[in-house]
Chain A
């Protein structure tokens, strides 16, 4: 589970960057390429952070 959480965190983080620099425009309001989708970036980074917290819960000593 810890590996899954870390992989998901990396995926969300990278996806956030791709939305932020405008390389991805799936599910965006304008759908325009090269637009900076900051809201998507923030939500994806929050999800990445939650995945890291999930990983932390998996790895701490019991």
Chain B
């Protein structure tokens, strides 16, 4: 992996992790499209590099929502000490995040490796990216139908029921499939459960934070592998670039979803997914 490839991959990871376009799908498709066959994806330095990129992304998310996370953690600890649930807004959000994180924790441990083995090549990733776009279009259409008479009110995150939070968590677990976006599919689930775009996006980003952080922390031992230091400079700079890109992405997307919807990302996924799928089927990208 060259220095410029490392920086490009860091930028790609930091942005595509939060934009609803699937970072996993892009990290499979883009190197294949650019014919970067020199990257040894299972080598210790590359795995360490990927761990640092995820750590950078998770830290950026925590930093962006630092005040909210502080309030949530404090409220959760207070409710555990008290042994009783209250109507505190941050506590309600916190328990909904805990419930929403359980499915991806369990399903991730069971299915991540087999899913990557089965679908971790360009053709399935492209097909799932196309499906990801169609899911966003379908979600937007269903949400508009639900709210077309204007009588149904939008909910806040803390108004979601626990089964609804669990459902968003199950939807998030579908992002184990390369090409299906974590933020995209959990936003669609949130929209169908009566959140507006702004709150669906916020819930999606908050829900993604512990998952990305835990996934990165579980892989931290890979940083201690004997050959991991060979990409030390690339890893450190890559982590910073991914973190900055993730921070700017979440700042942009939280503003964007105040008045816009998922359809532009749906178009992007459908077009890029379809083109990549045709190229993969013809053997042009492998």
Chain B proximity mask over A30-57: 1 for CB below 8 Å, otherwise 0: 0000000011101100110010010011
Contact B84 A27 (CB under 8 A): no
Q: Which residues on B sit within 8 Å (CB–CB) of A60?
A: 82-84
Q: Which residues on B sit within 8 Å (CB–CB) of A42?
A: 218
The chain B residue sitting closest to A37, CB to CB, is B109
CB distance from A18 to the nearest CB of B (A): 15
In the assembled complex, the Cα of A27 lies from the Cα of B106 at a distance in Å of: 10
- If A42-B218, A50-B98 touch, whether A62 touches B84 (CB-CB below 8 Å) is yes
In the assembled complex, the Cα of A38 lies from the Cα of B214 at a distance in Å of: 13
The B contact surface, by secondary structure, is helix
Partner of B83, one of A29, A40, A46, A59: A59
The size of the chain B interface, using a CB distance under 8 A, is 14
Q: Which residues on A sit within 8 Å (CB–CB) of B82?
A: 60
In the assembled complex, the Cα of A62 lies from the Cα of B98 at a distance in Å of: 23
Contact B109 A53 (CB under 8 A): no
Contact A39 B80 (CB under 8 A): no
Q: Which residues on A sit within 8 Å (CB–CB) of B98?
A: 50
Q: Which residues on B sit within 8 Å (CB–CB) of A56?
A: 80, 83
The A contact surface, by secondary structure, is helix
Partner of B102, one of A38, A50, A59: A50
B227 at the interface (CB under 8 A from A): no
Contact B106 A43 (CB under 8 A): yes
Contact A46 B80 (CB under 8 A): no
Contact B218 A39 (CB under 8 A): yes
Residues of A in contact with B, size category: 10 to 19
Partner of A27, one of B80, B102, B109, B218: B109
Contact B85 A43 (CB under 8 A): no
Chain A proximity mask over B75-91: 1 for CB below 8 Å, otherwise 0: 00000101111000000
CB distance from B75 to the nearest CB of A (A): 14
Contact A57 B84 (CB under 8 A): yes
In the assembled complex, the Cα of A57 lies from the Cα of B80 at a distance in Å of: 7
CB distance from B66 to the nearest CB of A (A): 23
B34 at the interface (CB under 8 A from A): no
- If A39-B218, A50-B102 touch, whether A57 touches B113 (CB-CB below 8 Å) is no
Q: Which residues on B sit within 8 Å (CB–CB) of A57?
A: 83-85
Chain A proximity mask over B19-45: 1 for CB below 8 Å, otherwise 0: 000000000000000000000000000
Q: Which residues on B sit within 8 Å (CB–CB) of A46?
A: 105
Q: Which residues on A sit within 8 Å (CB–CB) of B110?
A: 27
Chain A proximity mask over B52-95: 1 for CB below 8 Å, otherwise 0: 00000000000000000000000000001011110000000000
In the assembled complex, the Cα of A50 lies from the Cα of B80 at a distance in Å of: 10
> What are 16 A-B pairs at a CB distance below 8 A?
A27-B109, A40-B109, A43-B105, A43-B109, A46-B105, A47-B105, A47-B106, A53-B80, A56-B80, A57-B83, A57-B85, A60-B82, A60-B83, A60-B84, A61-B83, A62-B84
Binding site for A on B (CB under 8 A): 80, 82-85, 98, 102, 105-106, 109-110, 113-114, 218
